[in-house]
Structure 1
Amino acid sequence: MKPLYYFVSATLSIVLSIHVFIFGTAPNHELIAIFIGLWAPTIIAVGIFNTLLGIHDEMCCAHRRIEDRQKGGDEH
């Protein structure tokens, strides 16, 4: 996923949290708003984790290509 999606999702979480906190009518709407607000750092953390996994996969593929070239050069 693109990093923009994570940023937009976290922003929507914060906006929804503020909306529930201010305009909520449930007896415990403050706690619900805090819970929704905690989604934002979680979403950002998932985005960072997925980005790091992508970088790790690219590094592993590059390392394999280098090893294959070295093995191919030694055989000839």
Structure 2
Amino acid sequence: MNPMYYFIGATLSILLSIYVFIFGTGGNHELVGIFIGLWAPTIIAIGIFNTLLGIHDEMCCAHRRIEGRQKGDDEQ
């Protein structure tokens, strides 16, 4: 997934949090706004995790190719 989507999601979370915190009408709208604001770091962390998983997969594929060349198993 494109990393920009995670930043857009985090930005929307922060904006929604501010809106609910300031303009909320419920009895505990401040707490709900804070809760929604906590989504932003979670979304960013998921984006970082997915990026690291992609890097790990690329490294594993490259390692297998290198091992295959060393053994003489050219499957091209």
Pairwise TM-score range, normalised by the shorter structure: over 0.9
| Equivalent residue number for residue 9 of structure 2 | 9
Determine if the alignment matches structure 1 residue 33 to structure 2 residue 30. no
Provide structure 1 residue ranges, at least 5 long, that are not aligned to the other structure. none
What amino acid maps onto 1:17 in structure 2? S
> CA-to-partner distance for each residue in 1:18-66, whole Å, 9 max, x for gaps?
0000100000000000000000000000000000000000000000000
Identity %: 82
Shift >2 Å, 4+ stretches: none
More helix per residue: 1 or 2? Answer: 1
CA RMSD of aligned residues (A): 0.8
Separation in 2, partners of 1:62, 1:29: 51
| Equivalent residue number for residue 65 of structure 2 | 65
TM-score (norm 1): 0.94
TM-score (norm 2): 0.94
Separation in 2, partners of 1:20, 1:35: 10
Separation in 2, partners of 1:5, 1:55: 18
